[in-house]
Amino acid sequence: MKRTGTMLAGALIAMSAAAQAETVVDPQEVVFGEYGEVTEPLTSTPGDPARGEEIMVTKSAGNCISCHMVSALDYAPFHGEVGPPLDGVADRWGEAELRGILVDAKKTYQGTIMPSYYKTTGYVRPGVAFTSKPAEEPLPPLLSAQDIEDVVAFLSTLHWED
Domains in the chain: ranges and CATH: 25-155 (1.10.760.10)
HSE-CB at 70 with a 13 A cutoff on CA atoms is 24
Residue 137 pLDDT: 75
pTM for the structure as a whole: 0.82
Residue 121 pLDDT: 86
CB atoms inside a 10 Å sphere around CB 134: 13
> What's the chain's length in residues?
162
DSSP helix/strand/coil, 24: strand
Q: How far apart are CA 152 and CA 101, in angstroms?
A: 10
CA 26 centroid distance within chain = 12
Q: How far apart are CA 98 and CA 35, in angstroms?
A: 12
Q: How far apart are CA 34 and CA 136, in angstroms?
A: 33
Residue 18 pLDDT: 46
Q: How far apart are CA 87 and CA 64, in angstroms?
A: 13
Cβ–Cβ under 8 Å, residues 108 and 97: yes
CA 60 centroid distance within chain = 14
Residue 127 pLDDT: 63
Residue 136 pLDDT: 73
Q: Which residue ranges of the chain lie beneath pLDDT 50?
A: 1, 9, 11-12, 14-19, 162
Residue 20 pLDDT: 62
Paired with 43 in beta bridges are 24
Paired with 24 in beta bridges are 43
